[in-house]
Homo-oligomer: A and B are copies of this chain.
């Protein structure tokens, strides 16, 4: 369970929640309402937890780590709001999205506001290289997302392209969290490198599992419709393996080559692809790939001192595979 894994930093995670609550206090009641709705969303808070846990190996300075942890969660919240607006998603974490409730216009501007707030918050670290890394990560995330948009409904994608895309859109923020946490605790370069590698690999595993859950999860657990990647024309690892397994008459090919089919037909296709995936060895293969990345993540920590945070990071790698949402 996450709360057990978070145990070494539990008190300080509460302070992150407090900082996030403070963001909602503005001069405009309507803005405060939007912010409050976005930031009290029942997220797992993995990214701020990674900042804090990574900061525990050397000089743990909450004055720097707390704004850093808050800033990564703000950036994450902003990217989700823009993703939902772009995809016209109507539900996330079991609740209507900002674009569904307040419209796309507000969603775009609210995301911008949160990017700005994240950028302001990260300056409290007083560390220009870390602030720079923060903006560079947003560049990487956004080009990963753009890459996904450009390649929507494209059937000719390699696994390497897939890995590059998920590295950009997901793993980069995980590794920002671990790398910045460890830099801000004045750790030596070797340790920074180790934690960065951990974050990178954990993030890739996390996204692969996300992509698996979009096939095998339930709408109830996930808090959003299953099969949404297929609906948006995003080719993920399970879909790639299905294409390799059945190169002829493949349902995904039909789905992607007829992107303007009626909604009802699309849903029927998606349901059939999901059945195909669930009843194939593909799910297991994808989990094996994700586990490999988690093993790499854990491996990169092997020279770090054995402390509560070290153990928490190892448990987190297991959690990423076992999670149901």
Contacts and interface: CB of A to CB of B under 8 A. Distances in A.
B82 A142 contact: no
A106 B92 CA distance: 22
A39 B104 CA distance: 25
Interface string A81-112: 01001100000000000000000111011111
A115 B131 contact: no
A250 interface: no
Interface string A291-325: 00000000000000000000000000000000000
For chain A, what secondary structure do more than half of its interface residues adopt (helix, strand, loop), or is it mixed? helix
A118 to B, nearest CB: 8
Contact of A128 (B30, B126, B135, B145): B126
A115 B113 contact: no
B116 A146 contact: no
Contacts of A118: 135
Contacts of A147: 28
Given A108-B108, A134-B119, A113 B142 contact: yes
Interface string A30-49: 11000000000000000000
A253 interface: no
